[in-house]
Structure 1
Amino acid sequence: MKIKHRGQYQYAFLDSGSGGLPYLAQLRDKVPFASCVYLADTLRFPYGEKTREQVIQFAIEATEKILENFKPEIIVIACNTISVVALEALRERFLIPFVGTVPAIKLAAEHSKNRKIGLLATNLTVADPYTETLISSFASDCEIVRRGDPLLVSRIENGLITAGKHERMKAIQPAVDAFKAAGVDTIVLACTHFLNVTEEIQEMAGSSITVIDSKNGVVQQAL
């Protein structure tokens, strides 16, 4: 892809916190001179513990702020909870294109051999009807082991990323142990915050479990 000048591609990223930063980094790897803005609604973090109505309202307000202060060509919703709960409402309200980060259920089903998949997400994403639709559409023959983990989301947002490896491994252990006990062979990281500890989750899970996220697909769709 040829980049004629800085700012040719203008992207806005929206998340409740730092979870979407791996998506921004991935896009900048692909398009180094893209002009990007990142809005983290840390004042109302965590979205995953709010109601559906609150998340939709917060997402609308954040989008309005982005459009008032920046003129992006595309808005990347770098948050699974916003994407699952509010993406449809955003597309109905605003003309700008949106790219969402929905749980990579389809990709996980394509990879899973024993048809047991772990879904690591926020409580709201785990319970949302849209997630159920993804499962019934792409993984109806799979057993989905769901885990909402607000504590891990909060710890990642509040400094776990810069903590030592021992502390990071200790923080992810309850989730990984639960999935291993359930016999899954695939884990879907369905909250963007978890991508900040992907390497640790994969290391603890071991070679018999594949850890999957939506980062590559989302960035490719945004380009």
Structure 2
Amino acid sequence: MTDRPVLVLDSGIGGLPYVAAVRELLPAADIVYLADHAVFPYGEQDPETLCRHLLRLVAMLIERHQPAAVLLACNTASVVALAALRERFSVPFVGVVPAVKPAAVRTITRRIGVLATARTVKEHYLHDLVHRFAGQCVVTSVAAGAVVRLVEQCYGAPGADAVERAVRSAVGQLLHARVDTVVLGCTHFTFLIDQLRQLFGPTVSLIDSRDGVARQVQRVVQRNGDNARFAPRQPGSDRFLTSGTRTAELETLVRRYGFAEVRTL
């Protein structure tokens, strides 16, 4: 039995829906969440600079919190730094990458859309995923990085008009490509899944990676022998950290996900 937490890292609040999915499967696990607001958004950073930053940051977090596993709850961070982190540290890592494989299974017309940040759209990792798992499909990838800032600035709850303006072009491009399945390739987009369903209409399925990622966190934790069972959680044992500024709105949001307060890193 262990009291070591699961460490979750994102550039902002995008990983919170993934925390909820992990808690469904590991309700006794303590969660330490870092919103790296000082470097938000990761999708606009130089890849090599971001990788170096994450190696330094994760080294500090592992030393401080001794996690049972680390979840990189950010597609950009996973694409840019996951391999380097796994090579450097012995702690098991779980990354978040666009759910191209399940999309290829679900699509009927073999036309898939990927909605992601500009960085994820450009990276070879996404093209490799498409080649490996959706080679028989027509895949259209569209960047919608402005949505990330919108979600973050509005603490996960932007108004319908603002969402429509932010995604109008991207949604139009994907509908023009006649996709029947859209992969949400950024964790922040999961906050908008209901609004996006309305904009895409009933003929388009939306896929995100929350459930698959949570199952993978459960698997890697359970592979570690005595880490298979967590000690009973204590009130207030979950911690939400930010490398930026604490705000009342952020405090309100994180309470909805089971965190008592926001602390600065």
TM-score (normalised: structure 1) = 0.92
What residue in structure 1 maps to residue 101 of structure 2? 106
Give the match's secondary structure for 1:162: coil
| Aligned length in residues | 218
User: Is 1:41–1:62's contact at 8 Å kept on the other side of the alignment?
Assistant: no
Deviation at 1:180, TM superposition (A): 1.1
What residue in structure 2 maps to residue 74 of structure 1? 69
Q: Which of the residues 197, 206, 215 maps onto 1:202?
A: 197
Deviation at 1:204, TM superposition (A): 1.6
What residue in structure 1 maps to residue 45 of structure 2? 50
Query: Residue type matched to 1:112 in 2?
Result: T
- Give matches, 1:1-223, under 5 Å: 8=3, 10-159=5-154, 161-223=156-218
Deviation at 1:55, TM superposition (A): 1.9
Give the match's secondary structure for 2:142: strand
Deviations 1:86-144 (A, max 9, x none): 10000001110001111111111111111111111111111111111111101111111
Report the Cα distance in structure 1 between the residues aligned to 2:60 and 2:160, rounded to whole angstroms.
37
Give the match's secondary structure for 1:140: coil
Query: Residue type matched to 1:181 in 2?
Result: H
Identity %: 40
Higher relative contact order (CA 8 A, sep 6+): 2
Report the Cα distance in structure 1 between the residues aligned to 2:155 and 2:64, rounded to whole angstroms.
31
Report the Cα distance in structure 2 between the residues aligned to 1:41 and 1:119, rounded to whole angstroms.
25
Query: Residue type matched to 2:27 in 1?
Result: P
Report the Cα distance in structure 1 between the residues aligned to 2:141 and 2:159, rounded to whole angstroms.
28
Report the Cα distance in structure 1 between the residues aligned to 2:28 and 2:181, rounded to whole angstroms.
35
Give runs of ≥4 in structure 1 deviating > 6 Å: none
User: Is 1:17–1:45's contact at 8 Å kept on the other side of the alignment?
Assistant: yes
Give the match's secondary structure for 1:161: coil
Report the Cα distance in structure 1 between the residues aligned to 2:50 and 2:200, rounded to whole angstroms.
32
Look at both structures and tell me which one has the larger radius of gyration over its CA atoms.
2
Report the Cα distance in structure 1 between the residues aligned to 2:125 and 2:56, rounded to whole angstroms.
22
User: Is 2:4–2:65's contact at 8 Å kept on the other side of the alignment?
Assistant: no
Per the alignment, do residues 210 and 169 of structure 1 end up closer, same or farther by CA in structure 2, a change over 3 Å counting?
same
User: Is 1:160–1:167's contact at 8 Å kept on the other side of the alignment?
Assistant: no
Greater shift, 186-195 or 56-65, is seen at: 56-65
User: Is 1:16–1:79's contact at 8 Å kept on the other side of the alignment?
Assistant: yes
Query: Residue type matched to 2:181 in 1?
Result: T
Query: Residue type matched to 2:55 in 1?
Result: I
Report the Cα distance in structure 2 between the residues aligned to 1:57 and 1:203, rounded to whole angstroms.
39
User: Is 2:151–2:191's contact at 8 Å kept on the other side of the alignment?
Assistant: yes
Query: Residue type matched to 2:8 in 1?
Result: F
Report the Cα distance in structure 1 between the residues aligned to 2:28 and 2:156, rounded to whole angstroms.
26
Report the Cα distance in structure 2 between the residues aligned to 1:154 and 1:54, rounded to whole angstroms.
20
Query: Residue type matched to 2:202 in 1?
Result: S
> Once superposed, what is the RMSD of the aligned Cα atoms?
1.6
Unaligned 5+ residue runs, structure 2? 219-265
Give the match's secondary structure for 2:156: helix
TM-score (normalised: structure 2) = 0.78
